Structure 1
Amino acid sequence: MNLARQHFQKHSAKAAALSAAEFGTMQSQTAYEMQLMQLNQDRHRLRQIQSTEAKIKLKQGLVPTYLPYADGIMEANTGVQDEVFMTVLVWCIDTENYSKALEMAEFALRHNMIMPDRFERKTAVLVTEEIANAFLKVLKTNAAVDISVLQQLDSLVTPSDEEDPDIDPKVLDMPDQVKAKLFVALGKANIKLIQSTEQPSEQDLESAKSAQGYLSRAIELDDKCGGKQDLKTVETLLKKFTPPEPVQTNAGDSSPT
Structure 2
Amino acid sequence: MTSPARRHFQRVSAAQAAEAAGDQPMQGDAYELMQAALFEDYRRLKSTQSMERKAEIKREILPKYADYVTGVLEGGTGAQDDLLMRIMLWRIDAGDIAGAVAIARYALKHDLNPPDQFERSTAAIIAEEVADQALKQLDEEGTDVLVLLKNLIDVEAMTRQADMHDQVRAKLYKALGYTLRAAGQLSEAQASLERALGLNERIGVKKDLERIERELKQQNAAAQAPGDNQG
Task: Specify the alignment match of 1:89 in structure 2.
Answer: 88
Say whether 1:111 aligns with 2:110. yes
The whole-number CA distance in structure 2 between the counterparts of 1:229 and 1:30 is 55
CA distance in 2, matches of 1:26, 1:193: 41
Report deviation, 1:152.
2.1
User: Which residue of structure 1 lines up, in the alignment, with residue 31 of structure 2?
Assistant: 32
CA spacing shift, 1:51–1:236, aligned 2, 3 Å? same
Q: Distance in 1 between matches of 2:205 and 2:15?
A: 44
Aligned to 1:233: 211
Please say if 1:221 is aligned against 2:199: yes
| Distance in 2 of aligned mates of 1:123 and 1:181 | 16
Q: Secondary structure at the match of 1:99?
A: helix
Is the counterpart of residue 211 in structure 1 residue 189 in structure 2?
yes
Counterpart of 2:181 (choices 184, 191, 195) is 191
* AA partner of residue 25 (structure 1): P
Q: Which has the higher helix share?
A: 2
For 2:214, give the aligned amino acid.
Answer: T
- What is the Cα deviation at residue 142 of structure 1? 5.8
State the match for 2:172 in structure 1: 182
TM-score (norm 1): 0.80
1:133-188 Cα deviation digits (max 9, x unpaired) = 12223334565433222222222222xxxxxxxxxx4xx22111111111111211
> Which 4+ runs in 1 deviate beyond 6 A?
244-247
Partners of 2:210 and 2:35 lie apart in 1 by 50
Q: Does the 8 Å CA contact 2:108/2:158 hold for their aligned counterparts?
A: no
Q: In structure 1, how many angstroms separate the alpha carbons of the residues matched to 2:141 and 2:208? A: 16
Question: Aligned-residue CA RMSD in angstroms?
Answer: 1.9
Equivalent pair of 2:166/2:199 in contact (CA under 8 Å): yes
The one-letter code matched in structure 1 to 2:119 is: E
Cα distance, 1:17–1:138 mapped onto 2, change above 3 Å? closer
Question: Partners in 1 of 2:137 and 2:65 — Cα distance?
Answer: 27
Partner SS, residue 118 of structure 1? coil
**Count of matched residue pairs:** 221
User: Match for residue 20 of structure 1?
Assistant: 21
Greater shift in the superposed pair: 50-59 or 79-88: 50-59
- Once the two structures are aligned, what percentage of the paired residues are identical? 37
What is the TM-score with the length of structure 2 in the denominator?
A: 0.89
Q: Report the equivalent of 1:3.
A: 4
How far apart are the structure 1 equivalents of 2:197 and 2:130?
19
Distance 2:53 2:93 in 1: 12
Provide the residue aligned with 2:101 in structure 1.
102
Q: SS at the partner of 1:117?
A: coil
